Each structure stands twice: as C-alpha cells, then as structure tokens.
Amino acid sequence: MRTTATTVKLTAALAAAAALTLGLSACSAPSDTSSGSAKKGKDADPTAKLVVAASPTPHADILNFVRDNLAEKAGLKLEVKEFNDYVLPNTATQNGEVDANFFQHKPYLDDFNKKNKTDIVPVVNVEIEPLGLYSKKTKKTADLGSGATIAIPNDATNEGRALKLLADNGVIKLKDGVGAAAKLSDVEDKKGVQFTELEAAQIPSRLADVDAAVINGNFAIQAKLNPAQDALALEKADGNPYANFLAVKKGNEGDPRIAKLAKLLNSDEVKAFIEKKYNNGAVLPAFGPVKS
C-alpha cells in the first residue's frame, strides 16, 4: 500500500449507494464534497486539487504513477478515485463530483452521451486495451460451436466489438458491413452458440460458468489473465478506434490542471511505465488527439 496514495476505493455497496444519490441529485448543484474550486474551465484555480475518476487497472495505475512521480514537479495536485463500473465515472463527471475521468473509449462515450443526455468530451488519448476471447474449457475457437455458451459485454459498444472479434475468428457470421456496430440481431449464423450478456466488469468472475467469454483488457488484467498467452483470440491494435482517454464535462477542457495532466499522460515517462508494467500486450500506449 502506498503511503502517499490518495486513492479512494468504492466498495460495491458504496457504488450502489452512490448510484442512487447521483440519480437523485442529477439536477442539483454538486455537494460540499465536490472537487476543485468554484470556478471551472479556464478560470479554475490551477493550485486546486484535481480529482479524476478511473477504473482500477490500468487507468488508476497510470494516474497513480503520474501522481507519485510527475505531478508535484508539474505543480499539479492529483487525487484518483477508483470506480468498478462504466456508469458512475461519467455520472460523477457530469455532476461535478469529480473533475475528469479516465476509463473509456470514444464509441462508448458517444453512446453514453446520447442515452443519458450528458455532454462529456474527450481531451487526449492515452492507451488501448485489446479485447480478448478467453476460456477455461477449450484451447481453440474451432471448438466453439453448437451448444457452446459465450459471455459478452452487455453495453452497446463493447458488445459490438465482441461480436466483431468472434466473427473475425470464425466463431459466428455477421451481416455484411455491420463491423463493430453489430448487435445480436446482426448475427446471421450463430453456429449453435448461445450468448450470455453481462456487465463487462462481471464477466471474468463468470468465466468458469460459460464455455468462453469476451473480456475487456482492463478486466482481464484484474483477473490475472495474460492476453498474449491466455486469449484464444485478441483484437489487433493497429487502426483500432478504441483508445482510452482523459475526459471532462464540456466547457472544462481549458482547465489549466487538465492541460497539465493531459501533457503528463502523453509523456515519455508514462509511455515507458505502460510498456514496462504491461509487457504482455494487455495495454499499449496510444497517445495523441482523439479523432472525432
């Protein structure tokens, strides 16, 4: 345990309570526990603490590295809040309970904003986690046929990625042209496969209950899976649109603290940290602006 850590970990119970609280307070002003100064965006106090919501691995790991090794020299006070789901970080960012988040890719954010009428925007790409197909019951995709059960993420963007990965590796056949936007209704030939849709974070713990599962890279790491060695199939990184980025509520892009953090997250030091810590191909640096 780091003695300098300011990471706040939410238990499942707290997360559930937080979800209810956030839902009730969505139209109200942030509470006294809200992060940062009263002024936002370019007028924010550059000396105020910056609170960033993140998934534990690799996002919080990367932010903790920045906090412990780079932030002080850059004049940045950084606090990391860990969340174990894909909803609360955006809700907390929208409500102003945190200043930013780091856990998601553009297709997921676009879908979230549309469904929830939020206005969160990306700032800078940081890394990518290839999606993988894993199994404790078989060692090749050819065995996944009639009667096989496969767990896939139940959110729209990651479900589409999962179906495309399965189609690219011959497990199923999709309608022509749907690509990563695929839905279950776009599966032309399931080849007898039965799908179980689960929240992405729950899938690793259910891996033994199904014949195979498509798991997001960050959750694979948390489950101590090695993508390079354990995956039956793995997304290619080249040309992959699913880079994870730092994000803020629209209007806060000009916050001087956000500018500092964005620069640090795209630094040579962070690149070296990612390549050393995740040398199994589970996480790859993907720096630069986010494509619209």
Question: Are 120 and 94 spatial neighbours (Cβ–Cβ below 8 Å)?
Answer: yes
**Listed range (15-24, 79-88, 259-268) with the worst mean pLDDT:** 15-24
pLDDT at 218: 86
Residue in the structure block whose two tokens are 């937080």: 18
pLDDT at 131: 93
Q: Is 21 helix (H, G, I), strand (E, B) or coil?
A: helix
Q: Report the percent of the chain where pLDDT is more than 70.
A: 86
Question: Cα-flanking dihedrals φ and ψ of residue 18, to 5°?
Answer: -65, -40
The overall longest dimension of the chain from CA atoms, in Å, is 60
Identify the CA nearest to 192 among candidates 229, 225, 247, 145: 145
Tokens found for residue 259: 């500018």
pLDDT at 37: 47
Q: Which domains does the chain have, with CATH numbers?
A: 8-130+240-288 (3.40.190.10), 132-234 (3.40.190.10)
The pLDDT of 121-133, averaged and rounded, is: 95
Q: For the chain, what is the mean pLDDT? A: 88
- Whether residue 212 is predicted with pLDDT greater than 60 in this model: the reply is yes
Greater confidence (87 vs 179) lies with 87
**Listed range (75-79, 217-221, 258-262) with the worst mean pLDDT:** 217-221
pLDDT at 38: 59
Q: Is the four-CA dihedral 253, 273, 219, 215 of positive or negative sign?
A: positive
- Whether residue 109 is predicted with pLDDT greater than 90 in this model: the reply is yes
pLDDT at 221: 87
pLDDT at 7: 41
pLDDT at 26: 36
Q: How far does CA 50 lie from the centroid of its chain?
A: 20
The pLDDT of 127-144, averaged and rounded, is: 95
DSSP bridge partners of 284: 128
**pLDDT category of residue 22 using cuts at 50, 70 and 90:** very low
Alpha carbon of 263 to those of 63, 84, 129, 254, 267: distances in Å? 12, 26, 21, 13, 6
